[in-house]
A and B are shown apart, each in its own frame.
Chain A
């Protein structure tokens, strides 16, 4: 027996030696990492037509039904396949007309919106427009889009059988309840005035309604497609967008080709776009650096640091905050967080600068409920939550616990490494003010269930991403007492303040933009003072694209919006300056020291 063990360990040592020799051999002959783009553009100044643009996501797409899809991934395709009546300007967040001739007329003090359609919009050619779609082999000509399509589409989306997650954004339309309850066959507030004009009447004036009309839920769709395919329409999109679906291999890739009937002449520029699915961050970055894909939007911390250090990529990358907020939610109906001082103590004890360092500096510390990308954000908001142990300790004293809280408190987190990591950061920070934290990790569905149920989850790391770019989408949903429910509560802090409610209600109908924003700022100030959340950060996201990809910058609202890009082809391969192959740095297999 001892001899076997000895021969095993000798074998192990020799094996290690062999491995070391192999590794050394590879390191000696391995080419260096490219630090600059492999391909540059041809140098055209004017937009060029043609080429194939390749983008990717690490998830799998569920479908392209604009009335059902409510995720980043599906929207990347939907923005190519469909258009809405109105949309956001890429740089300014302003609403601009798309299928509509102009922004809608507002009548009766913002109670009625009148949309007029362009007269040159057609649905893309598709078999659903043939007399017998089942038998058709070739697509038939798409028909003109009319006001009747706008009405049909909205009613289809609002119908209970459709199960659209967007319904709540439209509940202000007159006749909504009657239609949902099945008492009316049409929504009385949606009226077709003539073939190109449609009018929408609300129950009460609301300035956020136009944001709802810019969401994909309001996009006009062809009723023929829904009649032909039923729920399967998500796999057979028929839209008015720049591209049509050419091929879809589930889990692998989606191929879009130019819609020849697109209403903007000469657009879109690339002939095709390929959406590579299920491509993880690590191989995506490698393929990007090889010139196989044209855009990346997520990186591991290691890749992020590496790519950021490459100066040659500087003109082709942008780092910007997401329109999201993250914070530590405290249940205002549960002891000890019924006491405002206790909540404030926690909010100011969170050492967020340390969090940022721990997350490769990819956090923007905001300390307030309105994200930095939205109007209403105030960089100098009085009382915003920024790490201050003295304030935290003083608040602990005011709460009656100068020596710390006697019992451990539980924080409910979702599963996964990142959640665990944040849980531990909270745990370490609160120890400084004498609060012991126990971390409980549950799966995301259970997390949703528990944090949305009254008197269940005491603390939880909360986050919210915008549905539309307006402060109301954060404040109304997360902090209005109307958003409190016994189960599935959106106001997961169960925070209720009549003063805040009143300000938010007033802002919702206020037509004067400046006054509206000042109301949101005021609400924001009260909310940070009451601290239902310890407000922390927004995520920063770095996007990169190839030098030959032109006219791309991150869209203010839609992530990964590639409708308007053009390709500066033919691309030129750049000779990468090779290091002398046998230099000492080349011996380090994974990245040369800088």
Chain B
């Protein structure tokens, strides 16, 4: 088990490093931050000054080395735009995105698993076909389509939710997060429901389920602790795999709902070519996704001894 974790951590670090290097080259190759930051009216001298001040005149490998050196010590540099430390900027935005993603993840697990189990139990009835059809549509509708529609219909016309934004108090934040989280959860709910259904259909036909039924256990107990528990394995793996999609979804959803989190930050910093912030967001996201995946892998290992043996 320890070996598995160590292997995964090493692989994770390598991936984070590769992502950092890749984005560093991209971010530094797309334009001149001096022009983007100081605006078209700044004098050439002032721009040169800016480049020297931020070490942009050094060769790229030197810059990269310096960046990584500082980053491992927790220093992600300062934003070109407002000179705030990148860690402060991100610390400001990250909790908001975590709240949004946490709520979205809860919604999609809750709805996805419940629907999947119900559909499997009522296999081949109108309920099953209808909801799996909806799930099929759910996967096909991107959030930049469903977001504005929900905003228009549910928030503006029906007035059930606030029209985008973040709110002021903590409760406000949660209320404002409901609709964007639901929007983000549509695709995930559909994915989880489909997987959960097919897994449940398989496990419900297994011998141990038949045995449990034969022992006279309460049907709910059979479904939940015998069948569903075993069907959960691929869901746990999927949780880790869904994480990057959730991050990508957050970028679009935050933009549609004016949620001032990491997603908007990344758009703002790309449009203003604020390289330190772009880098900071990428590094933090890469690390978070890797940690999520490692947790998922370890969890699968703990739940399923076969995985441990096969890998260990």
List chain A positions with a Cβ less than 8 A from chain B.
7-8, 10-19, 26, 30-31, 33, 60, 62-63, 70, 160, 163, 165-168, 231-232, 234-235, 249-253, 276-280, 282-283, 286-287, 289-290, 292, 443-446, 448-449, 452, 485, 487-488, 589-590
Contact = CB atoms under 8 A, between A and B. Distances in A.
Interface string B107-141: 00000000000000000001001111111110000
A15 B43 contact: no
A248 to B, nearest CB: 12
B163 interface: yes
Contacts of A448: 35, 40
Contact of A30 (B33, B47, B153): B153
A165 B151 contact: no
Contacts of A168: 41, 43
Contacts of B285: none
Ranked nearest first, the 7 interchain pairs of A and B with the lowest CB-CB distance are A15-B133, A445-B31, A251-B260, A283-B164, A11-B133, A286-B156, A445-B36
A45 B129 CA distance: 64
Contacts of A18: 130-131, 133-134
Interface string B248-262: 000000011110100
A283 B258 contact: yes
Given A62-B81, A444-B271, A445-B31, 19 more contacts: A7-B129, A11-B133, A12-B133, A12-B136, A18-B133, A26-B153, A160-B49, A168-B41, A231-B83, A251-B93, A252-B260, A283-B164, A286-B155, A286-B163, A287-B164, A292-B163, A443-B273, A488-B40, A488-B47
B225 interface: no
Contacts of B218: none
Contacts of B171: none
A66 to B, nearest CB: 15
Contacts of B38: 163, 165
A508 B66 CA distance: 50
Contacts of B256: 280
Contacts of A16: 133, 137
A166 B43 CA distance: 10
Nearest to A467: B41
Contact of A283 (B33, B35, B93, B163): B163
A286 B166 CA distance: 16
B115 to A, nearest CB: 12
Nearest to B33: A445
Contact of A251 (B30, B35, B92): B92
Interface string B143-154: 000001001110
Contacts of B135: 15
B41 A70 contact: yes
A287 B163 contact: yes
A589 B258 contact: no
Contacts of B158: 26, 30-31
Interface in B235-265: 255-258, 260, 264-265
A12 B133 CA distance: 4
Contacts of B33: 445
B44 interface: yes
Contacts of A282: 148, 151
A443 B164 contact: no
B82 interface: yes
B137 A15 contact: yes
Contacts of B92: 250-251
A10 B41 CA distance: 61
A446 B30 CA distance: 7
A455 B265 CA distance: 36
A528 B210 CA distance: 88
B157 interface: yes
26 contacts: A10-B133, A12-B136, A14-B133, A15-B133, A16-B133, A18-B134, A19-B137, A26-B158, A33-B157, A60-B260, A163-B38, A163-B42, A165-B39, A165-B41, A166-B41, A250-B92, A282-B148, A286-B152, A286-B155, A286-B156, A292-B163, A445-B36, A449-B32, A449-B35, A452-B40, A589-B153
Q: In the complex, which of the residues A10, A16, A280 has the most CB atoms of chain B within 10 Å of its own CB atom?
A: A280
